[in-house]
Structure 1
Amino acid sequence: MKTLKRLIDSKLLIACLLISGGVTSSCSDLLKEEPKEIVIENFYQNKSDFDAATNAIYFPLRMIRSEHVAVLSAHTDWGYGRGSRAQYNDFEGFNPTNINAAASRWNSFYQGIRNANLVIEKAPMSEVLTEEEINSYSAEAKFLRALTYFDLVRNWGGVPLRTAENIDLKDVPKSSAEEVYDFILADLEAAEMYLPESAAESGRPTLWAAKTLLADVYLELEEYEMARTKAQEVIDAGAYQLVQIASVDDIREKIFGATLITSSEEIFAFKFTRQTGQGNGLPWILNHPSTGLYNFGGAYAHYGDATNPFHKEWQDGDLRKGLWQVVDFGLGDSTIVNGKYAEPQAVDNTGAGNNLPVYRYPELLLVFAEASARVEGLTEGGLEAVNQVRRRAFGLDPMVASDMDYMMDGLTLEEFLDIVLQEKAYETQFEGKRWLDLKRTGRAEELVMKNKGISIAERHYLWPIPLDELNFNEAMSPADQNPGY
């Protein structure tokens, strides 16, 4: 059984109920409730209570991650959604069905934030924890809170900043995106100070995970020198290396396999197990029954098209391209489905054992390559970072120069940045990265038009703030809604 995956033991169940006020499905309900006195009186009495409370932060974040990644993948220039999900790739904004689905994701994110806030609030008040333990629990909670606010601000823009200091308040005003980013950076700087270099259990954040998230946040903020510095610190630590592969099956088994505990390139991932209510739902969402990659068939709710220029221009021989298979399920013989997450022994449609990566070493290398290029221009170090990812993709030793390498001669800075953006798209397909990169770089309209022939409505760039938030949070009003909703 994977570490951190047996979350529903009796202790954690009590923790989840206490922390959520007995409600684990709706943050709008939490907003209407006063914090329970039982949490103060009967909980946080010993280290095992704080272990359970910290684990409870993960529960809502893990459960929503599969759907969050799937939705982001339909927003891309390469991915399509089927059924109600088709509306995501129309790029016209959300209809009522998907407005409600976005509200569910918002609620789960804020539930995770609330649970993190409780740990951050209570740990320093403990009379049984050592100073080292207080710092450790707080650092882990702040890392998870920062990660969650990073998801929120990139998809919703400015949002209410619910913190350990205002945890008793129902009504919290909407903060600007700049204020949210300042808060994220403060959390990560604190986490960076106290997270360990090596996790005691697989699935816990480390110092290197905090530095990686910092590098990504700085990249988002166009603070490229800081992004390069943080990424370089992770590279120089030598804690990670690319998993070598020789086949498409190696990708499925050695990097994303259902029985993997971790890998040499995993920086941070949400952990799942083959257990009802504790598994990863993304493999079922993506797979098609005809491929035999999922023992419960699959919903094939997201797919691609081999005639899309993104796929047509993808070089043959790249093992990552081989994750796509042609399956005509009524949309034409160019329809392709992705088998990145294979699971032959899932217990049900949501019971896959595959972990869901948040950051892997190849992405960190590409963050470094982009940031360093924007600071220094083309360098051998930046080019080597990209080439390591590319070599591995073709089944080569990532550390040995090859004929597949991109070469410095004749390469302009803009061409190099295009290469980095495209390599990241290939490497992180169905990890929820491409749409956010397209928005960040200002390339969304250009590349969605090029690859899908669709113009993006302005309201599609930010998701709608839930009506429950606007109705029950009296510090907000309809004027705080995002444009177009």
Structure 2
Amino acid sequence: MKNLKYLILLLLFSSCQKQLLEDPKSLAAEKFYNTAAEVQGAVNAIYTPFRDINGLVTYIAQVDCYVDYGLGRGSYASLNDFQGLNSTNITRVGSMWDLFYLSIRNANFVIKNAPNGKEISQADINTNVGEAKFLRAFNYFFLVRNWGGVPIRTEANMTVVDVKRNTADDVYKLIVADLLDAEANLPITQPQVGRPTKWSAKTLLADVYLQLGKYPEARDKANEVILSDKFALVPISSTDDLQNIFGPTVVTTSEEIFYIKFTRQNLFGNYFVMFLNHPGTKFSGAGGFYGLHSETVNPVYKNWDNNDFRKGLWYPYNIGLDGNSLLNKKFIDPLATSQSGHGNDMPWYRYADLLLIYAEAASRAENGPSAASMEALNKVHRRAYGKNPLLPSTVDFKVADYNATTFLDLIIKERGYEFQYEGKRWLELKRTGKAAEIILATKGKVIAAKHYWWPIPVSELGFNKALDPVKDQNPGY
């Protein structure tokens, strides 16, 4: 299994890396996009910034300090105060901005140049451009939710240095347009695990519609994926069985919709695993930073049912702060070869996401939960208790006990349990307007206005003359 994961990643990167080494200018050159293999190599380059140690893996470490269930340590400890970013963390998120735009740039190369290829079929052009547009939308969705409106760079203006700050509405229009194109052109299945499919585009589009408050559209798009019968929750019977979903040797599962793939090889592995583990536990072969943790006195942990196997991912371990500290073993790899050699994939969209997107969107669209929306939530909940996700069980919630408001609260609670350390919680709390209430209740902290948005980085303000360093900066920075 390990060798298969490595082969997948090698196929994703080898053609692009070889071309870059032999001719650094070839990625942007017209001749590079003549064949299907060359275009695929250029598509592979869109993924490279995601796996950078300053990219999405550090992004999760950043935003999962802002949540109700966890805390940051060391240079991340200041984030526990919800008062905005200090200079260290401003630099960190600035690096993320640069990497998101690097991925966007690489996507723009494909979108612009692939249609001009002389030795590539129209079908291959459509598939590769569809993948590039999916990934461009994926990048902009992170940017707009963390920074608000941002400069839009597409294939049409990719050579222009000075680009104004567009509105958030403008960014979302591009995201939706890209995803509709991706939905139309991506295949139902991909020849390589880890590439987005038509179902990936539908799922991301459902999430975008949910973000925009377009609840009927989000419900219907999510339901298309459910009705496809292409995905299923992985059953479990213990906390340890969660490694069948998140473990380092898992190649793929029935619930994978779109993941960032890693393998247990130096420089090809998942750096984020270092943030969760302590050298003393031996859960990471590379030791661990234990930069993210929780406490036994945390209300989320205290009020969580002990029969829920997801709670079992937390375990007491003294990290030198007090006697109440907890660490989490969701992502572990005892045989990791290095800090950047953990084999665990990073799930961005799995079937549990899709079910809960549907549950919330359907309830909001219909002004309260239906049997279908409750069933979607109950599938995720049953699995967490070791029950068959498809059969009624003793842990089921009942429609009659909930209205629109209390059902939303239930979904938010369930998401907090299901997606711990997957980089989703903070954006969900912001989107639902629950951040201030939940953080005050669980951590006793008042969120400063500036903490809701990250600062436009100096790297952008310094070279983009279309931006005003004062007027275009987010408030408080």
Aligned to 1:481: 473
Question: 2:344 is matched with which residue?
Answer: 354
CA–CA separation in structure 2 for the residues paired with 1:59 and 1:52: 11
2:395 to 397, 404, 407: 404
Matched, 1:58 2:62: no
SS of aligned partner of 1:362: helix
Determine if the alignment matches structure 1 residue 338 to structure 2 residue 328: yes
SS at match of 2:294: strand
CA apart distance, 1:200: 1.2
Q: CA 1:17/1:166 → structure 2, altered by over 3 Å: closer, same or farther?
A: farther
CA separation of 1:16/1:229 partners in 2, compared to 1, >3 Å: closer, same or farther? farther
Tell me the residue number matched to 1:89: 80
Q: Which amino acid aligns with 1:327?
A: Y
Quote the Cα distance in structure 2 between the aligned partners of 1:9 and 1:90: 40
Does residue 312 of structure 1 match 2:302?
yes
Letter in 1 for 2:300: F
Matches within 5 A, 1:115-154: 115-154=106-145
Does residue 43 in structure 1 map to residue 49 in structure 2? no
Are 2:213 and 1:222 aligned?
A: yes
For the residues of structure 1 that align with 2:280 and 2:432, how far apart are their CA atoms? 37
Deviation at 1:438, TM superposition (A): 0.3
Is 1:103 aligned with 2:94? yes
Contact 2:26 2:32 in 1 (8 A): no
1:247 partner amino acid: S
For structure 1, the residue ranges without an aligned partner over 5 or more in a row are: 23-35
| Structure 1 residue 4 displacement after superposition | 3.7
- What are the superposed Cα offsets for residues 246-277 of structure 1, whole Å, 9 maximum, x if unpaired? 1111102x101111110000100000111211
Give CA deviations for 1:357-394 in whole Å, capped at 9, x if unaligned. Answer: 01010111011000000011220001111111111001
Q: CA deviation at 1:9?
A: 6.0
SS at match of 2:258: strand
Quick check: 1:363 aligned with 2:353?
A: yes
**What letter matches 2:391 in structure 1?**
V
Residues 143 and 210, structure 1, Cα contact 8 Å, conserved in 2: yes
Aligned to 1:373: 363
Q: Could you say which residue in structure 2 is the equivalent of 1:271?
A: 261
Superposition deviation, residue 41 in structure 1: 4.9
* Residues 207 and 9 of structure 1: CA distance in aligned 2, closer, same or farther (over 3 Å): closer
Amino acid at match of 1:375: A
TM-score by length of structure 2 reads 0.96
With 407-416 and 84-93 compared, the bigger mean Cα shift is at 407-416
SS of 2:401 mapped into structure 1: coil
Q: 1:395 aligned to 2:386?
A: yes
Aligned 8 A contact 2:83 2:448 in 1: yes
Partner of 2:165: 174
Q: Specify the SS of the correspondent of 1:359.
A: strand
2:70 aligns with 79
Deviation at 1:115, TM superposition (A): 0.3
The percent of aligned pairs where both chains have the same amino acid is 47
CA distance in 2, matches of 1:304, 1:127: 56
**Letter of the structure 2 residue corresponding to residue 291 of structure 1:** T
* Aligned residues: CA RMSD: 1.5
The CA distance in 2 between the partners of 1:230 and 1:199, in whole Å, is 20
Match of 2:154 among 150, 154, 163: 163
Query: 1:233: how far off?
Result: 0.4
Deviation at 1:17, TM superposition (A): 6.3
What is the TM-score with the length of structure 1 in the denominator? 0.94
Q: Does 1:12 align with 2:16?
A: yes
Q: Post-superposition shift, 1:43? A: 1.9
* Residue in structure 2 matched with residue 28 of structure 1 by the alignment: none
Letter matched to residue 222 of structure 1 = G
Provide closer, same or farther for how the CA distance between residues 289 and 168 of structure 1 changes in structure 2, counting only shifts above 3 A. Answer: same
C-alpha distance in structure 2 between counterparts of 1:417 and 1:225, whole Å: 16
Aligned residue type for 1:482? N
1:11 Cα shift? 3.2
Per the alignment, residue 326 of structure 1 pairs with 316
Aligned partner (choices 201, 204, 216) of residue 210 of structure 1: 201
Q: Which amino acid aligns with 2:297?
A: T
Instruction: Point out the more displaced range, 43-52 or 377-386.
Output: 43-52
Gaps of 5+ in 2: none
Aligned partners of 1:291, 1:273: CA distance in 2, in Å?
Answer: 21
Task: Classify the secondary structure of the residue corresponding to 1:269.
Answer: strand
Alignment deviations for residues 129-187 of structure 1 (CA, whole Å, 9 cap, x no partner): 11111100100000000011000000010111010111111111111001000000000
Structure 2 distance, partners of 1:301, 1:444, is 22
The alpha carbon displacement at 1:7 in A equals 6.2
Deviations 1:324-368 (A, max 9, x none): 111112222221011101112111011101100010101110110
Distance 1:179 1:411 in 2: 37
Q: Is the 8 A contact 1:225 1:375 kept in 2?
A: yes
Structure 1 residues 190 and 41 mapped into 2: Cα distance closer, same or farther (>3 Å)? closer
2:273 aligned with 1:283: yes
1:208 alignment partner, SS class = helix
Query: 1:412: how far off?
Result: 2.3
Sort the Cα spacing of 1:250 and 1:210 in 2 relative to 1 into closer, same or farther, 3 A: same
1:434 aligns with 2:396: no
1:91-130 deviations in whole A, cap 9, x for unaligned?
Answer: 1111111111111111111110000000000111111111
Tell me the SS of whatever aligns to 1:142.
Answer: helix
